[in-house]
Amino acid sequence: MSEKLKVGVLVSGSGTNLQAILDESNDGLPVEVVKVVSSRPDAYGIERARAAGIPVVWLNREAYADPAAADRFIARELVAAGAQYVVMAGYMRKVTPVLLEAFPNRVVNLHPALLPSFKGAHAIQDAFDAGVKVTGVTVHFANEDYDRGPIIAQRPVAVREDDTVSDLAARIHDMEHLLYPEVLGMIAQGRVHVTSEGKVSIDA
């Protein structure tokens, strides 16, 4: 059994990816969520953290008036909790160099499209509107270039002829809940490396 990877999870909303990580952790995934940080005081992810007995802190809009100060606070909280990696799970704030430098190549993000296509906050709608036949999910390391960090893993999701945006979003979220824990498991096993060329290499 691999030693458990200690992660801090950043959320902004319902926290379904946080829940997927917690469920898989309870089922043997070698990952321990040591702290949850919410960018909103009313995010349901806070309740999920509390139900699991995980320490949680939250910020509000005023706290983000100075993004670097907000990230300095987050970094202090996560370091104090013993987090080795930062996991962005539906976190709707762009992280600053303050957090990235505190956790170099250790801030992981999830994006509901196959990057580099359909960057930004409306990726599912944008892919649907573009009429693509395949979209998907990307897990990548965050860096200062929004949605352009080194890609760790991707999974395709087909767009069906009779899909609505809601149908497509539901299947993309289902794939997120599978892929994110899988990637964290690979990181916990020490199999994920960022090369000198800025790409990700994964040991077999």
- Of 88, 93, 176, 172, the residue nearest 128 (C-alpha): 172
- Residue 2: pLDDT above 60? no
Phi and psi at residue 166, to the nearest 5°: -65, -40
CA 162 to chain centre: 29
Distance between CA atoms of 138 and 180, rounded to whole angstroms? 9
Residue 34, C-beta contacts closer than 8 angstroms, at least 6 positions apart: 6, 7, 8, 54, 55, 78, 81, 82, 83
- Where residue 144 falls among pLDDT bands split at 50, 70, 90? confident
**What average pLDDT does the segment 56-76 reach?**
97
Task: Write the pLDDT tens digit of every residue in 53-65.
Answer: 999 999 999 999 9
Query: What are the residues facing 10 on neighbouring strands?
Result: 37, 88
Q: pLDDT tens, 156-181?
A: 999 999 999 999 999 999 999 999 99
Q: Residue 116, preceding bond cis, omega within 30 degrees?
A: yes
What is residue 23's predicted lDDT score, i.e. its pLDDT?
98
Question: Is the per-residue pLDDT at 1 higher than 50?
Answer: no
Q: Which residues form the catalytic set?
A: 111
- Average pLDDT over the chain, rounded to whole? 96
Which tokens belong to 42?
A: 């009313």
Q: CA angle, corner 68, sides to 62 and 74, nearest 5? A: 80
